[in-house]
Amino acid sequence: MLKALVHSLVFVFLTLLTQIGGLAYLLYFVIRGRVPSHRFPKITNLLVFGLIYLSFSAGAALTAPLLGREPLPCFGAFTDSSIQMQSPLYCLLNRHYVSPRLKSLTFALADHVDARHPGSITLALDAGFPFIEGFPLLPHPSHDDGRKLDLAFYYKEPNGAYLPGVTKSPLGYWGFENPKNKANSACKKAAKTLSLRWNMEWFQLFVRHLELDRQRMATALKWLKNEGRKKGLSKILIEPHLARAFSISGGIVRFQGCRAARHDDHVHIQVSG
């Protein structure tokens, strides 16, 4: 009974984290049930699961485009692409799929920033899963249709040079840009309950002391608001003090509210169709 509960929890956890990981676990479980496990060392189980999971992930990369979701580049270092995932971990977890429209918009943005500031790399964070309309990518409930994507900010050394492909935090998230004057904070009294507005104070130990690259930020945000809108962008979520700092307030630039995740560590974009 306890074993069944543990296996069910592993299935649910892998499904929520990677979408297809739960199915890979199910197949692994069936195979393991047919082969006496005592014949093999425990590491073999892990290798078999890993092999099934990677095969499923490769299958997803091949079939998702037929169903309207395309992967963003995972290994930018091996291509000349100016857009890439912030970490291969996002690809390993199948969280890098977007609609063709959002993909071409993201490439156009990255090319524009690179043309204005040669050597720039635009980094993508959580996007969407490969399959199923309405399947949320937690902890971003709205990332459920391939039409939403989070982009990392551009950073430079304090008073120094731009750092291509680098983020303040190891994941790209939670390296917050607090307003210099707390009175300018959009949420002076953040909701304590039922809120995704995490301050992640414990995580700040892992965040590097870097500055925003304001030139690249301004170029990217202005392109998104003007050219991006013409290409189907319907919403940009960023914290109001940053929208004011980069003079992009209004129009498709919105504030997500005080119960949703903070957007002073990344920018969220979404297309209409």
Q: Which is nearer to Zn ion, 27 or 260 (CB)?
A: 260
β-pairing verdict for 70-71 and 148-152: unpaired
Q: Which is nearer to Zn ion, 60 or 238 (CB)?
A: 238
Q: Which is nearer to Zn ion, 49 or 130 (CB)?
A: 130
d(Cα 113, Cα 130) in Å, to the nearest integer?
A: 27
Residue 84 forms beta bridges with which residues?
123
CB of 209: closest distance to Zn ion in angstroms?
25
CB of 238: closest distance to Zn ion in angstroms?
11
CB of 259: closest distance to Zn ion in angstroms?
15
Q: Are 124 and 155 in contact (CB under 8 A)?
A: no
DSSP symbol at 273: -
d(Cα 26, Cα 54) in Å, to the nearest integer?
A: 14
Summary count for the chain: helices (H), strands (E)? 8, 10
CB of 125: closest distance to Zn ion in angstroms?
8
Tokens of 227: 């050219």
3-state secondary structure of 64: helix
Q: Which is nearer to Zn ion, 52 or 243 (CB)?
A: 243
**Length of the chain measured in residues:** 273
DSSP symbol at 94: T
CB of 142: closest distance to Zn ion in angstroms?
7
Residue nearest Zn ion, Cβ-based: 268
DSSP symbol at 119: T
Give the helix ranges, DSSP H, for 35-124.
42-63, 88-92, 100-116
CB of 87: closest distance to Zn ion in angstroms?
16
Q: Which is nearer to Zn ion, 147 or 268 (CB)?
A: 268
Q: Which is nearer to Zn ion, 216 or 235 (CB)?
A: 235
Judged on CB neighbours under 10 Å (0-12, 13-18, 19+), 207 is: middle
> Which residues make up the interface to Zn ion (CB under 5 A)?
140, 150, 268
Q: Which is nearer to Zn ion, 17 or 27 (CB)?
A: 17
First vs last Cα of the chain: how many Å apart? 46
